[in-house]
Structure 1
Amino acid sequence: MQGVARGRHRAEDVGAPDPATRRGPGEQRFAVDDTLVRPGRRGGESTLLALAVRAIGEDLDVEEVLRRTVELSCAITGAEHAMLGMTDDDGDVGAVVTHGDPAQLEHGHSLSLPLQVDGRLFATLHLGGRARPFAGYDTQRVGVLLGAAGTAIRHGRAREAYAAGQVARERARVADALRELDQAAREIVEQGTAALGFAPQLRLSGAVALLPVGLRAELLSALGEALAGLGRHPGARSVSVEVDTSGRWLLLTVTDDGARRSTAGAGELRARAERLGGVLRLVSVGPVGTRLSWIVPIR
């Protein structure tokens, strides 16, 4: 983007001017995002500045905020060249955003102003390459842009900090759920061992740890009832337990190789499943084995 023509400026919405409108011999028009900057009446300067401030605050990405700040500062002052250098914690200049040819900053008149965030120096903006001296109103208008940039950066940092906190809290929640589930799995195996006389095989599939707390409690109760019922099957030498939450349904499957003589305990399991909108299925497998499937929706 080149420097704008000297004099005061007027801002208008991009869609407002008639494309067929004629411009005078010395008039220039430049696009700054969705803003037109061109010489005009004195009353348009405040409109331009308001649009420029709004353009800075529309994007909370730091790099984009700084780029817009540099370009808009050049647009409202007529500076041909600019450089904005960010200051690190040691006071050294780090990343730089430029416009035009920074090597030409000392040619003609120049202006340097600080960009502060939370009362601390964040960057310094250098404007130059202008034939006429910068006036007080130039300093004021650029100062408004830098103030808006500082506010946008502060808000962006706050949003990033909030998002990081949300991620940390979610990770902690998942970690707690995993610990609870691991403890529950050990208790299930211990209870099954006491009821069966041997340790059942346990397999967990899907995001079991992320089940709602109430549904996890229902699952553990159902599993305890199922293992207690299988303990009444004589001749069982192995029992496998599988919990699958990879789909829209929670599937608890308990399979043994013992002879089923009754459906003791199945009524409670069926009632629990139906109360949750699910079903209970009991089928024979192998010569004498039984497979119990307790299926409820995950909500």
Structure 2
Amino acid sequence: MVFYLVGLGLGGPKDVTVKGLEVIKSASRIYLEAYTSILSCGKDELEAFYGKPVTLADRDMVEQDSETLLADAKELDVAFLVIGDPFGATTHSDLILRAVDKNIPYKVVHNASIMNAIGCCGLQLYNFGETVSIVFWTDTWKPDSFYDKIESNLQRGLHTLCLLDIKVKEQSIENLMRGRKVYEPPRYMTANTACKQLLQVIDNKALNNIKTKLQPDSMCVALSRIGWDNQKIVASKLKDLVNCDIGPPLHSLVIAGEMHPLEEDFLAQFKLVAENSE
């Protein structure tokens, strides 16, 4: 028997591959990883499409109770469903290592993820450098170490995909310290917030006489709900995207490096959207 990791793609139930659907139909237990991304539909719609019950696997179950996920996987097929591609998050690599440690066979069914679908904005995938993650700042914690990777990419003329923070089933410091299983409402970073934080990083660098390739006038692309029917893409200057509404989550941000004329021509269609929205 096998522990399957099945990518669901970025949209709704029908984005699953034929191979992935066959695995799901034959699996004895089905789990849906429910904290690193979101789909355009709910669990009920997935169950209706699959014709089988699906159990939500939150962060606690995946990271702290993997025994539940892997239980009986030597005797029956277990399908672990991941929005996007199974290797889109390091958590899933760790889960595979746990299966290997228990001598449980595993197979991966790949699918589209933001890592390749980002090409929809017209910037060529082979011109992207290292991907970065931007986290929510707090009053006392404002990390900016990710910026070094953006700067390195820009120095080489490469684009940067910025993955934006998701807070699902998070505890406040007080509840965490008191051991109370009380969780904060889900929060999804917008491209606007990411741009504000990037502008602050630029200002902080300037105060310390550090020159940056990234500037308020740098071309960036804000994207929302990629792979959904209502996806939106807006290209504009970094400073202008702070006030540009691209709708509900999930959002991503791309910082453009040096562009080929073909990339510039493709991106132009989204600049028009930006102008119309102002």
TM-score (norm 1): 0.19
**Bigger proportion of residues as strand:** 1
TM-score (norm 2): 0.20
